[in-house]
Structure 1
Amino acid sequence: MPVECLIPDDRLSKYPPTTPSSRMNRVCKQVSIESPATVGMSKEYVFQYDVMVPDVPALGARVKVMCAGACYRQRSASVSSTSSTCSMGSDSGLCTTSTSNRGLRDSSFYPGYEVAGVVESIGEEVETSCGIKVGDHVIVYPFDECPPGYAEYMSVPEINFLVKIPDEMSLSVAAMLPSGALWALNTVQKAEDVVRRISEEKGPEGMCHILVVGTGGLALWALRLARYFFSEKQHRVHIAVACLRDEGFCLAQESGKVDVIQWNEELYERILIERTKDACHGQVDVVIDFGTTSRSLNRSIQCLSKGGVVFLGHETADRLLPKFSRKAEEYGITIEPVETGTVEQLKELVDLVHSGKVQPPPHSVFPAEEASEVINKLCKSEIPGRAILQFHSSAQ
C-alpha cells in the first residue's frame, strides 16, 4: 500500500490517534502521477492503486473526494508556502519540447491538493460547535501535511482545514479554489497596497498599469480578481495580460476589458519589451508574473517603471531571487514573493465566487479513470483552462 495515502509516522505525534470506531476496513482508488519529464512520454507515468481508506483523525474528518483539480507540486515542496504548476492548466508548459518554454520540473509530481468533496465522517474529539457536520460540501485548505495523491477518500487531521461551501455551488468549480485561485487572491490583495500607493503618487489623473503574465489557471484567476478589486473599486487602473501561447491569447480575450500582448518566444527580447510597453502606454507599475523561467522574469523587470513591484510565487522567487536581486536593485524595482494564502482568504474566495462577483475561468471535468488521457492532453495543450478529475458522480 503506498504510504502517500497516510500521514507519515513522524507526524502522527502532532495529532491524536484514531479510535477503533473511526476505522474503515475497505479499499478505495488512488491516482498518482509521476513527472513525464522524468520518466519520459513513452512510459507510463499515471498509476492507479487500490489502497486502504484512511482512518478518521480524532480532531479532524474524512472527506469523500468528489472533484480534484489538476495540480502538480515538487515532492519536497511545502504545500501552504510555495507556488506550483497547479492551476496552470494547458498553459503550464509541463511537457513541451520547445527550448524556449522549459519551465517543467524534473522531480516527481503528485496531484490532489485542490480537493472538493463531502464530509463522510468526523473525529470523535471534534467540537459540535465547529460548524462542520457529516454531509456538508467542503473544500480542503492545502495544509502542509496534506497527503499527496488523488484518492477517493481523504483524511484531514484538523477540522479547521475544511471550508464549507454552499450546496448549490458546483463542486468542480469549488475544486479550483483551494490552491491556485487562493494564491492568485493573495497576490492581488498584496498588489492592492502597491496600486493604492502608486495611484496616490500619480494623482487623480494618473493611471496605474498592471501586467499579468501567463494565461493558465493562475493568471486567469488573477485577471478576474484584479478586475474585481481594482476596476470595481474605481481605481484608475489599466490591466494588460501577456500570453505565452495562442490558446492563452484566446482565453484572455474572453475575459474582456483587457489588452492582450502575445509574448512569442521566438522573437527578440527587445521586440517583446517594446510591444509590451506600447500596449501598456509606457512602463508598467505592477507585474504579477506566473511564469517560472528566468526569461519571463527578466522581461518583466525591463517592463517595470522605477519603484514598481513584480509579484512572484514564493517557490519561484526562492529559485530566481539570487540571480535577479542585483538587477532589481539597479532598476529600482522590488521583487516580492507571495505565499498561497490563509484559510480566511479561502472563505472570502468562496463568497466572491458564489455571489458571482468573480467568475471562475473555463474548466473541463473528466472521470478519474481517464487521468492518463487527461495528462496527455494537458501536455499537448489540448485542454483550455483547467482540468478537473471527478471521483464520484453523487455525494451519496
Structure 2
Amino acid sequence: MEKLSLSCLDERAPTDRAVPSVPHDGVRIRVCYAGLCYLPLTNATPLRKGCTGYRNGNLFEGFEISGIVESIGTGARQSDLTVGDPVAVFPHEDVICQGYADYLVVRELKNVVKLPASISLAVGAMLPTGGTLAMSAVIRCRETLANVVAQKGHCNIVIMGAGCLAHWLIRLLALSNSAIRDRIHIAVASDDWEGLKIARTLGAEEVVLLDENCHEEVLAERLRDSFADGVQMAISLCPDERLQDRAIRCLDKGGFLVVPSGSISGDFQNGKKQDLQVLAAPCGSVEILRTLVRTIADGEGLQKNHPTYKVYPVETSQTVFDDLQLCSRSERAILKFQASHPVVW
C-alpha cells in the first residue's frame, strides 16, 4: 500500500505502507472519500506532536473520512455495525494520526457513525468536522433564537464568511428551527462572490459582498444596513480575529455573538462595552455528528440542498491542494479513493 503526503512547499513521492491489522475490539474501514481544504498558517493552531496537519480540522490528513466497514474485530462489542455498512468516522485522536489511507482502523466503535441510504459517502466526508461544527453552533444558539423571536418577533442573523461552514449553517438553522423558520432572517457576508451565490441558492435572504480594502467601520455599517431592524445575532465560525471583530461591530446592543469555544478574539473588550453576549459552540463530538446525520436524514431539504462540493480523483490531490492555497476553488473539495489504486497519505 502506498503513502502520499501533501505539502505546502513541494510534492512528495508515494511510499509503501502495510495494510493495518484489524483491531481485536475495533473495525477496519476501506476509505472511499476524504474531505480536503486549506487554512493559511497565520490562523492555524500549533501542530500536535505525532500528528500531521492542523488540529482545527481545516488541514489535517485523514480528518474527514467516509467509507465502508471492511472487517470487524473478533472482540468487538455488539453494535449496529456490520461488514459493508457505509460510515463516517469521527476524528478521534487514534484516527487522525493515521493520515489519509485506503484502510483506516478505529479502535473505539462509538467513533464510527453509520450513514443512512439518503446520505451519500461523498456528503459523508463533509460531516465529521465542518458539518459537525455548524451543527454544534446551531444547537448552542437554538434556545437563544427562540427567546429573541419571542421578544422581538424576529431574529436577524449575519453569518461571516461564505464557505462550507456558512453553507451548512444556512440549511441547519432552517431545519433545526422549523417552528420559527419564517421569522429567522439570514444574511451572509464575504468577499467571495462565488460563495455568496451558493449561499443565496441555499436560502440566504441577503448576501453582502465586502471589499477588504475598505475601513472596518465602513464594512460594519454595510452589514448593519443588511436589515432595517438591526442585527440580533452574528455567527463567525472561522478562526479569524478580524471576522469576529467585524461581527461584534455590526451587532445591536445586547446582541449575540456565536463563535467556536476557545476562539474568542482579544478584541472582544469592544463587545463588552456594547453589552454583547457570547455563545461559545463546542467544536464537536461524536454525539453531535450523530445528531447531524439524523437531521440530514430527516430533512428532505438538506438532502437536496447540501453545501456544494466537487469530487476529485485522489491522484490529482496535490493539484487540488495547490489550488486551495490560492483560493481558486469555491466548492468543497472531496477526494475519491479507488479500490484498485491503494494510496495512504
The equivalent of 1:92 in structure 2 is: none
Cα gap change, 1:337 to 1:168, in 2 (>3 Å): closer
For residue 71 of structure 1, report the CA deviation from its aligned partner: 4.5
Which of 299, 317, 322 is equivalent to 1:376? 322
* Equivalent residue runs for 1:60-79 within 5 Å: 60-71=26-37, 74=45, 75-76=47-48
The equivalent of 2:269 in structure 1 is: 326
Distance 2:55 2:273 in 1: 26
Give the secondary structure class of the aligned counterpart of 1:382. Answer: coil
- Give yes or no for contact 1:83–1:313 (8 Å, CA) kept in 2: no
- Give yes or no for contact 1:61–1:123 (8 Å, CA) kept in 2: yes
Which of 310, 324, 327 is equivalent to 1:364? 310
The equivalent of 1:101 in structure 2 is: none
Of 177-186 and 374-383, the range deviating more from structure 2: 374-383
With the length of structure 2 as denominator, give the TM-score of the two structures.
0.87
Give the secondary structure class of the aligned counterpart of 1:210. Answer: strand
Which of 213, 216, 227 is equivalent to 1:269? 216
Amino acid paired to 2:193: D
Amino acid paired to 1:131: D
- Are 2:299 and 1:352 equivalent residues in the alignment? no
Distance 2:93 2:145 in 1: 31
Residues 179-233 of structure 1: CA deviation (Å, up to 9, x unaligned): 110110110111111111212222xxx2211111111111111111112223564
Distance 1:77 1:84 in 2: 14
- Are 2:71 and 1:130 equivalent residues in the alignment? no
Distance 2:339 2:117 in 1: 15
The equivalent of 2:147 in structure 1 is: 197
- Give yes or no for contact 1:66–1:391 (8 Å, CA) kept in 2: yes
- Are 2:285 and 1:285 equivalent residues in the alignment? no
For residue 363 of structure 1, report the CA deviation from its aligned partner: 0.6
Give the secondary structure class of the aligned counterpart of 1:270. Answer: helix
Give the secondary structure class of the aligned counterpart of 1:300. Answer: helix
Give the secondary structure class of the aligned counterpart of 1:365. Answer: strand
Distance 1:83 1:189 in 2: 22
The equivalent of 1:20 in structure 2 is: none
- Are 2:21 and 1:55 equivalent residues in the alignment? yes
For residue 376 of structure 1, report the CA deviation from its aligned partner: 1.6
The equivalent of 1:339 in structure 2 is: 282
The equivalent of 2:343 in structure 1 is: none
Give the secondary structure class of the aligned counterpart of 2:271. Answer: helix
Q: Gapped runs of 5+ residues in structure 2?
A: 39-43, 341-345
The percentage of counterpart residues that share the same residue type is 31
Distance 1:77 1:307 in 2: 41
CA RMSD of superposed structures (Å): 2.5
For residue 275 of structure 1, report the CA deviation from its aligned partner: 1.1
The equivalent of 1:247 in structure 2 is: 194
How many residue pairs get matched? 328
The equivalent of 1:116 in structure 2 is: 66
Amino acid paired to 1:165: L
Amino acid paired to 1:138: V
Amino acid paired to 1:84: N
- Give yes or no for contact 1:215–1:252 (8 Å, CA) kept in 2: yes
Give the secondary structure class of the aligned counterpart of 1:376. Answer: helix
Cα gap change, 1:71 to 1:254, in 2 (>3 Å): same
- Give yes or no for contact 2:155–2:232 (8 Å, CA) kept in 1: yes
Distance 2:50 2:274 in 1: 31
The equivalent of 1:30 in structure 2 is: 3
For residue 294 of structure 1, report the CA deviation from its aligned partner: 2.3
For residue 257 of structure 1, report the CA deviation from its aligned partner: 4.6
The equivalent of 1:389 in structure 2 is: 335
- Give yes or no for contact 1:285–1:304 (8 Å, CA) kept in 2: yes
Cα gap change, 1:256 to 1:83, in 2 (>3 Å): farther
- Give yes or no for contact 1:185–1:222 (8 Å, CA) kept in 2: yes
Cα gap change, 1:83 to 1:233, in 2 (>3 Å): farther
Distance 1:47 1:184 in 2: 35
Distance 1:268 1:363 in 2: 33
- Give yes or no for contact 2:5–2:14 (8 Å, CA) kept in 1: yes
* Equivalent residue runs for 1:140-179 within 5 Å: 140-148=89-97, 149-167=99-117, 169-179=119-129
Which of 247, 259, 263 is equivalent to 1:316? 263
- Give yes or no for contact 2:140–2:280 (8 Å, CA) kept in 1: no
With the length of structure 1 as denominator, give the TM-score of the two structures.
0.76
For residue 77 of structure 1, report the CA deviation from its aligned partner: 9.3
Amino acid paired to 2:80: G
Residues 331-359 of structure 1: CA deviation (Å, up to 9, x unaligned): 11123332232323222322332342423
The equivalent of 1:104 in structure 2 is: none
Deviation >6 Å, runs of 4+: none
Q: Gapped runs of 5+ residues in structure 1?
A: 1-27, 87-108
Distance 2:12 2:273 in 1: 45
Amino acid paired to 1:121: S
